Amino acid sequence: MKLKTQASTTLKSKLSSTLKSWLPILQSGMQDLEETLGEFAKDNPYFDIKSKITNNFSSYKKNRNLPKGSRVGQGGGLSDSIENFCIQEESLEESLLAQIIPPLFPTQTSQNIALKIIENLNEEGYFEGDIENMAKECRCSSEEIEKIRKRFAYLDPPGIGAKNLKESFYFQLDNMDIKSEIFELCSKILEDLEHHIHFKDECLYKEAMRVIQSFKNPPALDFYEKEAVIIPDILIRQESNNIQVQINEKYYPGIEINLHKEKNLKAKEEFIKIKTKEARDLVDALEMRKATLYKIGIMIVEYQYEFFTGGEIKPMKLKDLAQEFGHAPSTISRAISNKFLECSRGIFPLKVFFATAIDEEIANVTIKDFVVDLIRKENKQKPLSDTKILKLIEEKFDIKIVRRTITKYRAQLNIASSSERKKLYKMSL
């Protein structure tokens, strides 16, 4: 009996020490996992972190002389994303500042005005400053401000500094090397772009529309903040009716314990013992992280089986998983935070599968998917209003919600209002 108690106490002690490192490791997303492990490594000379992300990036760099567009390895996209993620790119402001030079901006005054214009560009690259106030600040006329602003038509990216979409297109047209006949027709079409079809009998109509359709909208599109590379923790593999859950081992960091370093250190025996134990605890914690996420993956597939076979996401609560695991909901919340799952339908944050319920059977994610589908199939001559979308949702799901909920969902999905969509459809751009 005594022996059993001692064994139980030893196991509990081992698990307790592992848990100290398990929780922060569990909470870290795949992109941050190496950094978290690095914090443990700062004062421990007995282990090294083996980065598989770095190794994959290195192998990509060795192949960087491949033709443009070539991809490395199966899929290839992740290595491309990692390079984009690791290399700091020039910002829009930095790019424009480098172009504020003679002969386009020959004087100090013109350069100062240009700098003020840059300060008053929004994230899309449109000018939204107050000309009158700028003129007072720069001690010049409003006409001088406008004169300098219109020189932005010759900067990169084309269209930058325009006040609106139409002017941006004119800026971009001025910056193009095309035949004068096409230039003139493009100018006419831009005057009444919503009714461009009226020019379809012009012999150069198709060429002119190809030029217009090549314009950037918004002009600062190429400078939008790039999304960070997403590395899923859980992989769902499907073959026929067979669904398998896997942990993404490919980019998982490894821990290598280096006991040979003892020979080179004049450390006390007790210090060596403590630090090597900490290193082994980290290995155990990393394995516990994998096991926890694997079990979460299994349970998501079990609860959301219909989603993985083409259906919709159903409401799922953190406490459902917490009860299965025997952990507090806060621990499960840590486990799914900043984690992603990849399946045949795409890559999804784990938190998506714990959608807020509108009622017992319908999740808000399901409603959003339905809205997206409605917009995709709507009559472009008569786009659906929020009121009409609400009515269709109530008929489809037999529920009652308010119109402002639809407006909120549409905003979250970055879908324009019905009147704005109608304008965009008319442009056919």
Q: Please report the pLDDT score of residue 262 as a whole number.
A: 53
Return the minimum-mean-pLDDT range out of 12-21, 32-41, 86-95, 331-340. 12-21
Mean pLDDT within 127-151: 94
- Name all domains of the chain by residue range, CATH numbers in brackets: 92-223 (no CATH), 234-354 (no CATH), 364-427 (1.10.10)
Report pLDDT digits (tens) over 47-101.
Answer: 888 876 655 544 433 333 333 333 233 333 444 444 444 445 688 999 999 999 9
Q: Please report the pLDDT score of residue 85 as a whole number.
A: 42
Residue 227 pLDDT level (bands cut at 50, 70, 90)? low
Q: Please report the pLDDT score of residue 331 as a whole number.
A: 80
Q: Please report the pLDDT score of residue 205 as a whole number.
A: 94
Q: Which of 56, 58, 62 is nearest to 75 (CA)?
A: 56
Q: Please report the pLDDT score of residue 15 as a whole number.
A: 47
C-beta of residue 229 within 8 angstroms of C-beta of residue 335: no
More confident residue, 265 or 355: 355
pLDDT exceeds cutoff 90 at 143: yes
Q: Please report the pLDDT score of residue 276 as a whole number.
A: 83
Q: Please report the pLDDT score of residue 202 as a whole number.
A: 93
Q: Please report the pLDDT score of residue 130 as a whole number.
A: 93
User: 120-134, 326-340, 385-399: which has the highest mean pLDDT?
Assistant: 120-134
Residue 360 pLDDT level (bands cut at 50, 70, 90)? low
Long-range contacts of 393-396, Cβ-Cβ distance < 8 Å, separation of 24 or more? 393/367, 396/370
Residue 357 pLDDT level (bands cut at 50, 70, 90)? low
**Exposed/middle/buried for 365, CB within 10 Å: 0-12, 13-18, 19+?**
buried
pLDDT exceeds cutoff 70 at 265: no
pLDDT exceeds cutoff 80 at 166: yes
**Which residues have CB under 8 Å from 268's CB, separation 6+?**
none
More confident residue, 349 or 364: 349
Q: Please report the pLDDT score of residue 21 as a whole number.
A: 72
CA distance 294 to 247: 6
Task: Give CA angle at 313 (309, 319), nearest 5°.
Answer: 120
28-to-256, 286, 308, 324, 334 alpha-carbon distances in Å: 20, 11, 26, 22, 8
Structure tokens at 312: 């919709």
**Can you tell me whether residue 47 is helix, strand or coil?**
strand
Average pLDDT across the chain, whole number: 80
pLDDT exceeds cutoff 50 at 201: yes
Residue 329: cis peptide before it, omega within 30 degrees of 0: no
**Can you tell me whether residue 121 is helix, strand or coil?**
strand
More confident residue, 107 or 47: 107
Q: Please report the pLDDT score of residue 172 as a whole number.
A: 94
pLDDT exceeds cutoff 90 at 189: yes
Quote the DSSP letter at residue 178: -
Q: What is the DSSP string of 211-227?
A: HHHTS-SSTTGGGSPPP
Structure tokens at 14: 């081992």
Return the minimum-mean-pLDDT range out of 106-110, 226-230, 286-290. 226-230
Could you report how far apart the first and last alpha carbons of the chain are, in Å?
79
Structure tokens at 351: 């938190």
C-beta of residue 319 within 8 angstroms of C-beta of residue 329: yes
pLDDT exceeds cutoff 50 at 141: yes
pLDDT exceeds cutoff 70 at 8: no
Residue 105 pLDDT level (bands cut at 50, 70, 90)? very high
